[in-house]
Structure formats: C-alpha cells, structure tokens
Structure 1
Amino acid sequence: MVSTPQQIKDLLGTPPTEIKPGQWLELFTFFGNLAPLWFCEQAVRLMEAEANWHFSSPQLPQDRGSCWIVMALHAPDKYPVLRPAFVLPLQWQRREDKDPRLPPKLQALADTVRTELAINFKQAEYRQWNLFLHPNFAPSADQPDFSAWDDQLSFESGWVALAGGLYLAQNDGQPDEHVWVSARWDSKNGIRRVGHLPEKLALARKFGVRRFYIPNEQDNEVPSEYQDIVCKLRQASSNLPDVLSEYLSSLDVRPACSPQDEESFQRCVSWYMRQLRPSEHFEYYCECLLPYLSCKLRNQWQTNYPACQPQVLVTVLSQSWNLALLVPRVFAVTKCVFLYTPHDRIIATSVDTVRNLLRRFTDISDARWLPFHDETMVATFRQLEVWQECPPEKLLVDITPGKKPMSLHLFSAAPMGSWILYVDSKQTNGRPVPGSEKLVCWRRE
C-alpha cells in the first residue's frame, strides 16, 4: 500500500492503466472528496470502482470563509491522472492556529493577503483569520497533507481569490461558487499576469462558472469560446479596494429582494453595506431596500408628525443620493425642487440617474433641478420660486443632505411656517446604514 507523500506524488505521474490494484484506494483515502476536482474523468471512474464509492457532482462550498484557488499544471503530460487545471477549496477560519496540511508557500501567501486587507481596509481584524483546507474536502484531520508540495504547486495566481474569500468572511458575506478569479497582486504595481488561462477557463466552463475575472491585459489570450464568461480586473492601480470592488460585488451572493420582515431586510442591508461602490448599486437600493424602508419611516411620520402633510419637497442633492429617493417616497410628495452643485463631478453625473429613478420609484410628477455655486448659494436659496408658489405648511425642507453651510442657508431661506426635516441615521465608514434612519420634523418659526 502507498503511504508516504512521495509515493502519492509518484502515483500522480503514473498512467491510469498502470496503477496497480489497491493504489486507487490509497489515492481515494488521501484525496477524499477532492478527487473529482483534481483527477481526470477516467481516473475518477477507476477510483470509484476500487473504493466502491460514487462521488456526487463536485460543488464548491459557499459557507462563510470559503474560497478556492484555480491552478494549472505546467507539464500536464507528467501527471496523466490529473486534470490540466484543478481547484483547491479552502476556508478562512477565525482561529489562532494554522493548517499544517497546507504548503508553506500557500501559508505565506495567505499572510500577505491578511496584511494587505488589514492595511487597505483599515481593519486589524483581518489578521485574526487563518487559512485551512475546506473541511468538506478533507477526509481527516491530517489528510490530504500537501505540506511537502511546495515544489509541485504554485499558488500566486490565487491571491485575489484568497482576498475575496477573506473580505466576505470578515464582513459575513456568502461567496458565489460560479464566480472565479485568477490574478496575482503586487502591493506596488497592483494586478499582475497569470498563466494557463485557456486550461483554467475550460475547467470553469465545466463547473458552470458565469464570471471569471482575469487581468485586463490578458483579454487577448482568451479563446473565443470563453469570452462570454470573462470579466476584467483593472490594472495599473495599487488601490486594492478600488481594483477589487467589481469582483467582490459579483462574488458576494445577493439575498432575495422584496424583504417582508426585519430579518430579511437586514440581510439585504448587510449585502448593500458590503459593496465598496454604493453609487453603482442604485437599482439594488431602490428595488430591495426602498420599499420596506419607506413603509417603516412612513409609519413613524404618521405616528409622530401627523400635522405634517407636505406637497412639495425642497432639498439639496448630495452624495447621499438615497435621500433624494427615500424622502419623496416616505412623504408621498408630488413635487420636488433639487438644488445641486454642477461643479461637483460626482453630483453632476448622478443627476440623470436620480432623475430616472425618481420616475420609476416615486410618484413625483414635477421635479425641478436648480444648479447653484458657492458664491451664489445664499441668493439662489432665498429667491426660489417655490417659496411663493406653495403655502408654507405644504412645504417640506430637508436640510439633511449637503455640507453644513448648505443646510444652514437652506434653513434660513425657508419660509416661516414651513416644515423642516432632518433624517438622523447611524454611519458606517461615512455611509448611512439603511434601516437606522429616524425622522425629525419641526415647524419653522
């Protein structure tokens, strides 16, 4: 019987037809459920026959901390029982010890991932996680033992995959088994090239992968039959959160929309707050969070401020664009005046998006967009036509968005008797947390 790691390696270099009775069973004992991910179909059938076992269709894990590295053989002919490319399922676990079964080079790579994420996301908690073989694919506490496989396996192309798994582990996300990546990372130069993309993409196709992220510059290396699943990671940038944002969003399984209770709503909130570029998720906010949230706040408004029955909203459009949708929906106003700063590129580019979303997700029939500049702000606010067009008691002036001088001058310009609104909320990393909002209303006197 084969027993040593070296003998296992030798067997991998043996043609399937030359492996002797009993040796398939030894390979089965060593690799366990990892076998269908690593071995060619002929080898899997022979292993099943000798072990009197049937492997179920391989499915990558999706529990917290799960991740997987896609690797390829430099010389496939040397290992005829293996696939040209294969997957190593791993899991980040919050524990102090390390997995002795993993090769030292992989452990070292995991250390760099933890360090980079702790620095770039400014969270020391990333250092509390260590990398392990995923328990679903480990037949025992000491098998499979890859600790002496540094010379046979290369892991650098799995850097981004490890980073994605760790980010979701720390932030309680669930990875999507149909989103893969192969890319190296350099702290100075960012995303780096990888090898054997055709082999890795062929494997991804067999596993039903929908998105496979690769370095942008390697797009020309992708065979035409795999172009439909390839997505590109931006290169020439060392800003890790910015580079990974799209991949992390794709990897993070979205909870079902239309939450019916607080628990399902909080799952949607958690996904939304994990996104590194919330401005790219207008649709998700409107479809999955806005209906439940607006209903919740409408109940608070009608309970605490029944005398406030506005018809017109006046507010500033800021980078907290969600308020431009939330407040009109809560108070069911039909007319809005949005003041915005055209010199702010982010604000200016969001005007069309917010305008479109207002048409789709609110009952506003009349929306006015008025630009202003810092030097003309006071005059612009004081001379708004809406002050004369609408009775004060039907005006709702939201002073929440915008910089403090904007809020102050808008409050000062509001007519006596109008309703003033401030939406208080908890903040995480400078972002309001949906569901934490509290309405504060009072009459201008």
Structure 2
Amino acid sequence: MNDSSLPRGITAWRGSLLYFTDDPGRAEHATRWHEDGLLVVEDGHVKAAGDYAALAATLPSEAVVQDRRGKLILPGFIDTHIHYPQTDIIASPAPDLLPWLNTYTFPAESRFRDVGRARETARFFLDELLRCGTTSAMVYCTVHPESVDAFFAESEARGTRMVAGKVLMDRHCPDFLRDTAEGGVRESEELIRRWHGCGRQMYVITPRFAPTSTPEQLQLAGELARAYPDVFIQTHVAESQEEVRWVKDLFPDARSYLDVYDGYGLLRERAMYAHCIWLDDDDRGRMTASGAAAAHCPTSNLFLGSGLFNFERADAAGMHLSLATDVGGGTSFSMLCTMNEAYKVARMGGTYLPARRMFYLATLGGARSMGLEGVIGGFAPGCEADFIVLDPKATPLLARRTAQTDDLEELLFALAMLGDDRAVAETYIKGELACAQTTPEP
C-alpha cells in the first residue's frame, strides 16, 4: 500500500458502495454496487470509488481507512423541493392546498422578517436535513430578504451546498407578505450578487406560484433569469385541480398552467417545477424539450389530497425527475420515508417503482435535474464528497428483515419501506463528519 507518487491527505471508507451513472428505470447497467467497496476522498472530493480489492493497493501508507463494513455508503440525498420557513407547521390539518396556505403557511412565514427567528429555524432545519442524510436541497425562503441571508449564513457555516431563494409574491396573499413586481425582483438580484457562488451557496429565482405573481412580476422574473442563466428557477405547477382552475381564470390566454411560465421565459434548464400532477402530454413534452425538471413530492401530494403523479406518462415523455419532501406540506424530512410514499403513489397509478430507481431519484436524479451532475449526487472522480452511511440494522425490524434479503434490490427495498432517519448512521460534508447517530468507530 505504498506509492509515494500519490497525493497525501487521503481518507478512505470501506463498506458496501452504492451509486448510479444513469436512471435505472431507463437505462441498463446504471447501478454501481461494490459489496466490499472503497470510497477514497482527497481534499473534500472523490478521488476513486470501487472494489476494495482493486483500490486498497493504491492508497499511500499513511492513508486513514474508516471501516464501515456491514453498512452502505452512498451519495448524500438531494431534496429538490422544500420550504424551510414551514418547519414549524409540519403536520398541520387542512382540507386542501389553498386553505392550508391561508391558515398555516402565510402566518408562519410572516415571522421571518425577524432575523433571529430566521437564523434559529435555519439552524434546526439544516441540522434535521443532515440527520436524515440530506446533504443538498432546493429551498424556499420567504418574501423577506432577511430570511435568505439567515439561511445562507447557516448553510455556509456548515459548508453544505444549498440552493435557496426569496419568494416572489405580489398579489393574492396577505398584505404582510406582499412585495412588489419591481421591488421583489430587485431584491432577488441583490441576493444573487451577494450569495450565488459564495462558497457552496447557489441562488434560485422563486415565484411562489403563478396565482401569487402578477404578469408584471413574472415578466421581470423571466428577464432576471435571462440575465443570470446559471441561476436556478423554482416554483409550483399543477399541484391541485382547484389551483389549475384558478390559474385558468387568471391567465385565460395561456394554453395550460405550465404555458404561463413558458410564456414568461421561466421554462429552461435549471428550472425545477414541483408536483406536475395535472399536466397533459404536451406539457410534459415541453418540459423535456426545455430541460426543466419535475420534483415529485409524494408525501405532500397525499397529505393534501392533491393527486397522484403519473410516472408512466412522465417516462414516456422523457421528463427529468427527482424526489422531494416538500416540508411542511410533506410530513417527513426523511428521503427514505419519501421513497416509501413514492412507491405507493406509483403503484396506485399502475406503475412499479424499483428500489434502485427510488435511490437514484434521491441522489443522482436530483443532481441531474438541477444541472449539478458531476458536482454532487455521485461518486465520479472530482465530485464533492457529500455522502452518507446507512445502517441496515438500525432498528430491530429492519435488522430482522434485511438479514433475510437475497439481493441488492431486496435490501434497498427494505431500507426504503422500513427505514427513516434512524437508518442514517453518519452524514459527511466534503469528507468531514457532519452528523452521526452514534459515535462512529475509527
């Protein structure tokens, strides 16, 4: 294990490695599984990943090897749609999306002008993500620039790669949350200049959804997106039927809800559209052609009774897909719990969702949908070393079930159906331990 030509400062983790090179639902040989594997990290980036037998001899003599045999090592989860100001209203009852917004969401978000409240919530939110194995996320703040500053400051302190933005909302909302078309976009541009590319922080232009932005605000948001093509876009589309009818009344000249955004230049690569339940095939084709992606949010869709995402039609169109918790409409920060619900949504729609694909959607699928493949979500050389260690014996039931598994698919399926935050033994950010359920062994 001596090779003086190799760089120093290398750390490696030995365990069962899982990662993906493509969508297992659409491509053969997309899964990479090394039952006795080695992940080699140098200066916070992946240097190599593969079989232990092949890589061990390449390590310099002073390299530290962390032994995680019996556990799974995989890229950190990526949550492509989540609201940090809604942390405290998770599990709030309401009969539908729009009443839920008015009763719980808007009052909760009004408090985020207070920097102290925003910082404290951001700290809890980021710690909860890391505890659940989520190392990157696309995050909604509130209309207040202070909420964005607070979130990015906390993320920067942890070294996490986060994408976040100020909500744009200049109509059909309480006065205490209303910005203006010009003022909201101007504040967004100031935040882009302050935070986009600052360390690992990245900015996303964030119209809440079409009904709460005037045509003027959407037009200015589209112009901002054209001026900053490497910045992200996020919003909601076709979540509930009532919402779709409302958009039709507000934008009668648009062919569809998605067409509203397309008309203002908001449909492009690095654009993330949450829900996408009530789209038609023309909409799905336009999303694919534009490079925009869908964030599937099964727990919130079920919680609010919004509808079932159609995997069959999305796959037929070739849409970019990812998985998201949508806290606080979603009921768990855990991407494993979210996989559980995604599987059931797919089955109710007549589609079988293999476990491999669920894990892909929560890792490389999220990175690819965000245009960050090769940066996060995988173990290709040069990727940032954000990864997690899953314990298949984390609970008595999980241990009993996984002891009976015969192959990788069955093991992953058990983790997706029975796992939660307790299954995430450790979370690493750029090769450094960020969270552990118990004190890890060396």
**TM class, shorter-length:** under 0.3
Structure of larger gyration radius: 1
Please give the TM-score of this superposition, normalised by the length of structure 1.
0.26
Please give the TM-score of this superposition, normalised by the length of structure 2.
0.26
